[in-house]
Amino acid sequence: MTASSNHKRYRGVFPVVPTIFDEQGCLDLDGQRRCVDFMIDAGSQGVSILANFSEQFLLSDEERELLTTEILKHVRGRVPVIVTTTHFSTKICAERSRRAQDQGAAMVMVMPPYHGATIRVAPAGIRSFFQQLSDAISIPIMIQDAPVAGTPLPATFLAQLAREIEHVAYFKIETPQAAAKLREMIELGGDAIEGPWDGEEAITLMADLDAGCTGAMTGGGYPDLIRPIIDEYVAGNRSSAMEHYARCLPLINYENRQAGLLTAKVLMKEGGIIRCDAGRHPLAPVPPAARAGLIELARGLNAKVLTWAR
């Protein structure tokens, strides 16, 4: 079957929205709204909330629900919103996903069930998990294939899930040799693979575009720099896309290898969009040298994040 064939196909740049805290580690909803407004104004074609780069693993269930409600309400349909609903429990993941759908989520993103370093689920259990999730909702499901889950998801298995489970249609591939995996998955899954997507801060974006990816879930700090890469590539201007990619690759690399998941918040604070760029304890702050290097690279690229609020 063609998964989720009644839905619009989502493509382009869908960055992760960071969760904004104040100096006491409480949610800063005003800052959260400014963050979302910037990301939309900077060219995001959609946004993703409650992802790992949103510090979702540091949020209570009540905070997750509050953020989902407030962000979807604030976006007001300006762009599609992907809500991460990952949980080990099939029941809880399905309940989270139904609530997100009822509030207007365009899609849910889910990792395979895992816990800690050793508790994993066999392929048959993973298939049952996603089948029950699909039965519970009517919007597309994106499977997040990330090393953090510690669960091997071969391209053959992902293609099988896409062919056999109605709403499993999108795949965010963040594993080593992502391009090769995307290429194999697309070949095996055919039309059932509605959205083969790039992840990991776009560090492999050009190779993944060449492999057939149609979307990118990046960090949230500079969608204005990522968007031209995909726009030019889709328009058939591969050499121009490569020029844009080469231009901002040092910044992408710095996010991926130095500043990590706090990158977007560091840049947003520097640009006056938010007041506090801290992660929630026990996350360590970005070291001063890494912070300075990140801002230097973003300034050299005239990143919109540094001027949007001025």
Give residue 6's pLDDT.
58
**pTM (2 d.p.):** 0.96
Terminal-residue alpha carbon distance, the chain: 50
Of the candidates 8, 73, 91, 172, the residue annotated as catalytic is 172
Task: Say if CB 108 and CB 83 are below 8 A apart.
Answer: yes
Per-residue tokens: 96: 């989270």
Q: Token pair 């976006």 is at which residue?
A: 75
Question: For each of the chain's 310 residues, which pLDDT tens digit applies?
Answer: 444 455 689 999 999 999 999 999 999 999 999 999 999 999 999 999 999 999 999 999 999 999 999 999 999 999 999 999 999 999 999 999 999 999 999 999 999 999 999 999 999 999 999 999 999 999 999 999 999 999 999 999 999 999 999 999 999 999 999 999 999 999 999 999 999 999 999 999 999 999 999 999 999 999 999 999 999 999 999 999 999 999 999 999 999 999 999 999 999 999 999 999 999 999 999 999 999 999 999 999 999 999 999 8
Residue labelled with tokens 């009644």? 6
Give residue 310's pLDDT. Answer: 87
Give the per-residue pLDDT at 131.
Answer: 98
**Cα–Cα distance measured from residue 210 to residue 206, given in angstroms and rounded to the nearest whole number:** 6
Q: Is 172 a catalytic residue?
A: yes
Which pLDDT score is estimated for 1? 46
What tokens appear for 139 in the block?
């919007």
- Long-range CB contact pairs, 115-120, < 8 A, 24+: 115/88, 117/150, 119/88, 120/150, 120/151
